[in-house]
Amino acid sequence: MPTRTFTAVLHREGDLYVANCPEAGTVSQGNSVEKAVANLKEATELYVEEFPSKKDRTS
């Protein structure tokens, strides 16, 4: 599978950091920026595995 680059948009809600990937539509959270990004990366990887784009399927 080719390498892809995604955006992570973060904001704080109370004691948690919320991370959003607009390209995949995935969202996650964590107690730190690093944990929120790590959780988002995992969620996005799982999403892309389950729902590959047409471009990924033809490669």
Whole-number pLDDT of residue 54: 67
pLDDT of residue 3: 83
Residue 16 belongs to some domain of the structure = yes
Is residue 35 a part of any domain in this protein?
A: yes
Please tell me the predicted confidence (pLDDT) of residue 52: 85
Q: What is the Cα–Cα distance from 31 to 17, expressed in whole angstroms?
A: 6
Residue 42 and residue 56 in contact, taking contact as beta carbons nearer than 8 Å: no
- With respect to residue 13, please indicate whether it lies within any of the assigned structural domains: yes
Query: Looking at the domain assignment, is residue 40 inside a domain?
Result: yes
Domain count along the chain:
1
Domain assignment present for residue 36? The answer is: yes
- Asked if the structure places residue 44 within a domain, the reply is yes
Which residues span the domain enclosing 47? Answer: 9-58
Task: Give the pLDDT mean for 33-56.
Answer: 91
Evaluate whether residue 1 is within a structural domain: no
Is 2 a domain residue? no
Output the pTM of the full model: 0.85
